[in-house]
Amino acid sequence: MDAAKLRYRFEADVWVTGERVRLWFVSLPTEMSAEILDVVGVSLNPWGTVPVEATVDGFTWDSSMFPRKDRGCYDLPLNAKVRHRLGLHEGQRLDVTIDIDILLHL
């Protein structure tokens, strides 16, 4: 791993929101989310998203986490390519690794 990256690992359940358009996510633990917020801040962009490289079961993809102020955590979206590649279903428990390039946040 590059020295300019922070790595976090967590377990989370897949959850889905929406009726017409279903959006799939996993949520980072609140303590981990607070630590990441302390490191990256909120000045990157108006939405406060954090670019990450995410890995589940050996499959790695680029994404951006969304801050959820109402729940005090970041949500990592699981797009269709990821869901199909990993055969994900709602409620499934995942072991997720995320890498954050801290040079983007300096």
What is the total count of domains within the chain?
1
Contact present, 93 and 12 (Cβ < 8 Å): yes
Nearest to 54 by CA among 21, 19, 20, 88: 88
- Give the model's confidence band at 44: pLDDT under 50 very low, under 70 low, under 90 confident, else very high: low
The C-alpha atoms of residue 105 and residue 30 are separated, in whole angstroms, by 20
Domain that holds residue 63: 5-105
- The CATH number of whichever domain residue 57 belongs to comes to 2.40.30.100
pLDDT tens digits, 60-86? 999 999 998 888 999 999 999 999 999
Contacts of 52 (CB under 8 A, 6+ apart): 62, 63, 64, 65, 76, 98, 99, 100
pLDDT tens digits, 6-30? 999 999 999 999 888 899 999 999 9
pLDDT score for 47: 73
pLDDT score for 59: 97
